[in-house]
Structures are given as C-alpha cells and as structure tokens.
Amino acid sequence: MQNNYKEHLYKILVIGDLGVGKTSIIKRYVHQNFSPNYRATIGVDFALKVLNWDQETVRLQLWDIAGQERFGNMTRVYYREAMGAFIVFDMTRPSSFEAVTKWKEDLDSKLTLANGKNVAAVLLANKCDQGRDVLTNNRIQMEKFCLENGFVGWYETSAKENMNIDEAANCLVKHIIANENDIIQSEVPDTVSPQLNSDRGGTCSSCFKS
C-alpha cells in the first residue's frame, strides 16, 4: 500500500528590535516556560517546534535573530530559504513599532519566494499583559497597517501569560502552506499536485481579529 504520509519542514524567522520578546515568545511556544530576566541574543539562536497538521507533521525551524542585527550585515544570510516570519514589537515601546516597517523592508528586499511573492509575515504586538497602548486599541488602523505593509495578520501576544502565540503560529503556517501549494502548482502546471490541506483557521482575512 502506498504511504502518502508527508512531513514538512519550514524555516521561520523571528525578527524585531532589541528586547521586544522574540526569545521569550519562542521559549513559551516551544518549551512552555517564561523567564523575566533579559539576556540579549547574540547573532542567532535556533529552536524546533513540531506540529500535527491535518494528520501530517509540520516541523518549524525557528530562527531567533538578535535585535541588534538590524544594523548588521548578517540578515541576508539568516533570511535565506525562510518560508515565513514573525515581526515582533513591544506594545509598551512605540519606537519598536516604528522599527517594524524597517524590519519588513529589510526582509522583503533580501528574500523572495520562488513564485515571486514575499514570504508570509505575521505581526506580533507583544507584552500585551502590560496593558494596551493607544495604537493597538485602534484595530481598523492596525489592519490597515497590515494591508499596507504586507502582513497576513497581527496578534496581541504575551509570552508571559501565554496569549495568542499558538494562534499566531497557526495563522503563519496556514499561509506558508498556501504559498507552498502555489509554488508547486506554478512549477508543474500540467499535473495535479498533491496539496496539504490548509483548512485550519479559516480564510486569510480571518487572521485579522474582528
């Protein structure tokens, strides 16, 4: 009997300014814990998260890139062959939100998918346990920002309180799978390509919270 079971490995970048909580989000997502102490990441760290996705296995190779790399030359090397990205800012620090467009521009200028599209990117407004800021209170404004800057969705997250991290990751994976199916189809136009079902989580626009 033919075995159709598939495994998928996706490289995902986690980028954003110093101290916004990238390492903490990954730690919460992968190891289910949180530390209040700050130890800046040097260069890049790695973590692996394994998901069951519609009876198939999805492995997420998370690249935790140091905030200080924004001004470095290494991002091009780190970004290579990534399929998705989280761009993180700290809700209590407006300057980290201003940096989001710079991180996104850096990403899109250095990385393009085989079908010519930008990689799927989800925006994370982290540290929401510390109170809402004026900016993310305006959801229409945030959705407009996402559309204008090419984010497939945004989430208020807390690594401390474990809020919305799984939801944000599911949104990203869903869009990565859609992109991957698109690439497979554009490469083999005359055959019916096997597709990983990406039903989980609804349509693209549902990634935006109402």
Site string (7-46) toward ligand GTP, x via CB under 6 A:
-----------xxxxxxx----------xxxx-xx-----
Residues 96-135 that bind ligand GTP (CB under 6 A): 126-127, 129-130
Residues 34-93 that bind Mg ion (CB under 5 A): 41
Residue 70 engages ligand GTP in binding (rule: CB under 6 A): no
**Which of 201, 167, 171, 185 lies closest to 84, judged by CA?**
171
Tokens 């991290």 label which residue?
Answer: 165
For 38, 65, 96, 168, the CA distances from 181, given in Å and listed in that order, are 39, 27, 34, 20
**Which of 125, 176, 158, 133 lies closest to 25, judged by CA?**
158
d(CA 52, CA 118): 26
Residue 162 engages ligand GTP in binding (rule: CB under 6 A): no
CB of 147 to ligand GTP, least distance (A): 25
By CB under 5 A, name the one of 20, 21, 23, 119 that touches Mg ion. Answer: 23
- Nearest residue (CB) to Mg ion, 21 versus 84: 21
CB of 191 to ligand GTP, least distance (A): 43
Q: How many residues bind ligand GTP (CB under 6 A)?
A: 22
d(CA 91, CA 70): 19
Residue 66 engages ligand GTP in binding (rule: CB under 6 A): yes
Q: If you count them, how many residues does the chain have?
A: 210
d(CA 178, CA 180): 5
Site string (84-123) toward Mg ion, x via CB under 5 A:
----------------------------------------
- Nearest residue (CB) to ligand GTP, 137 versus 191: 137
For 176, 177, 178, 182, 196, the CA distances from 189, given in Å and listed in that order, are 20, 18, 16, 10, 17
What tokens were used for 126?
């982290």
In the complex, the residues that contact ligand GTP under the rule CB under 6 A are: 18-24, 35-38, 40-41, 66-67, 126-127, 129-130, 158-160
